[in-house]
Amino acid sequence: MIPVNTPVIPPEAKTFVNDCLDTGWISSAGSYLQRFEEDFAKYVNRKHAIAVSNGTVSLHVALAALGIGPGDEVIVPAFTIISCLNAILYTGAIPVIVDVEPDIYTLDPNQLEKAFSPKTKAIMPVHIYGHPADMDPIIEFAKKHNLFIIEDAAETHGALYKGKNCGSFGEISSFSFYANKLITTGEGGIVVTDDDILAEKSRDLRNLCHLPGQRFHHKTLGFNYRMTNVQAAIGCAQLLHAEEFFNRKRKMGKLYDEGLAEIPGIEITKIRDWATSSYWMYPLRVTEKSGMTCKEFQKKLKEKGVDTRDFFWPLSNQPMLKDFDVRVLPCPVSEKIAIEGCYLPSGLALTESEIKKVIETVKSIM
């Protein structure tokens, strides 16, 4: 079976992790944490980086640092992981779920006017499967109405929007380092910002909000969202290979692009001319022309030794919505692509011949 993802752990990871074990720095203090934060900030062109335990809580920290709370509304795209919705709910704010663009699956800027209300405080654009969201109209709308932008760049390490790093837009941005992300620490996340005050608040929130100079006196409600030095050690090793990983993913993505371009019944993502995609995962949609559903297509691939993953189930259709104060705008695009789409094996360890085998298998099924 060709798996959907296998991470690549560079040899330096062992050296760095062993260093943590040998020196006893295995908890959330130690030199790798500081180094990882500094290296990652440089990597995405931000002044500050604050490492946390995963990419779900990093979204929570970002919202909490901005002071988002009960009564506030945050606009979020329907086609994303549940983490985005949950992070808004953790703060007590009201998520406002909007539809995405049909070709690149990211927040549709044309929905913002309809979603806006006097309670709107922030927009959370999410880059999807390596392809950036169209940030300019989102930033323009945010400026006009004085809204914060929390950018979820968990799927776009290294990707660029109009030549600028994903993760360098808006007040504060978030990344994940889960094992299937381009840079991984096993589990992990990070918030990045250029704002000194937001950075300080994020550091406080991550570590229980101790009063400065008065340990065990707490100025407000904080969290234990700390990353360990061991995770950071793996991250430092990964970052040494960031460019190589990025280039390899792009090469793999382009092989798929060429191989799958002209297959009736298969719709692949056309990269917008302003985007440098990181090709994090390779998505496709099975259209009516194919005469089969995406589920049938996935089953046939599996029988022939190729694993796939479903697309996100849209936030607008989540069973959990009934328990919360949530505003949902019509999301026909998200609901359609969720049924039509899956993604193909895309892990860094995939070989060129495996990709060719996947392409041939798709062709034979179609």
CB atoms within 10 A of CB 130: 28
| 277 lies in the site for ligand PLP, by CB under 6 A | no
- Hey, is 270 helix, strand or coil? coil
| 55 lies in the site for ligand PLP, by CB under 6 A | yes
Site track 124-143 with ligand PLP (rule: CB under 6 A), x = hit: --x-----------------
Taking Cα atoms as reference points, which of 296, 287, 298 lies closest to residue 342? Answer: 298
Q: Which of 64, 75, 81, 182 binds ligand PLP (CB under 6 A)?
A: 81
Environment class of 44 (CB within 10 Å of its CB; exposed 0-12, middle 13-18, buried 19+): buried
The Cα–Cα gap between 88 and 252 comes to 35
Binding segment for ligand PLP (CB under 6 A), chosen from 48-56, 101-109, 200-208, 267-275, is 48-56
Q: Which of 37, 72, 155, 267 binds ligand PLP (CB under 6 A)?
A: 155
Give the nearest residue (CB) to ligand PLP: 55
* Rounded alpha-carbon distances, angstroms, from residue 333 to 126, 226, 294, 325: 16, 37, 16, 23
* DSSP-derived secondary structure letter, 93: P
| 189 lies in the site for ligand PLP, by CB under 6 A | yes
Distance in Å, CB of 56 to ligand PLP, minimum? 3
Q: Which of 178, 223, 245, 256 binds ligand PLP (CB under 6 A)?
A: 178
| 228 lies in the site for ligand PLP, by CB under 6 A | no
Which one, 31 or 318, has the nearer CB to ligand PLP?
318
CB 46 within 8 A of CB 193: yes
Amino acid at 283: P
CB 237 within 8 A of CB 12: yes
| 176 lies in the site for ligand PLP, by CB under 6 A | yes
Q: Which of 5, 28, 56, 316 binds ligand PLP (CB under 6 A)?
A: 56
- Positions touching ligand PLP (CB under 6 A) are 54-56, 80-81, 83-84, 126, 152, 154-155, 176, 178, 189
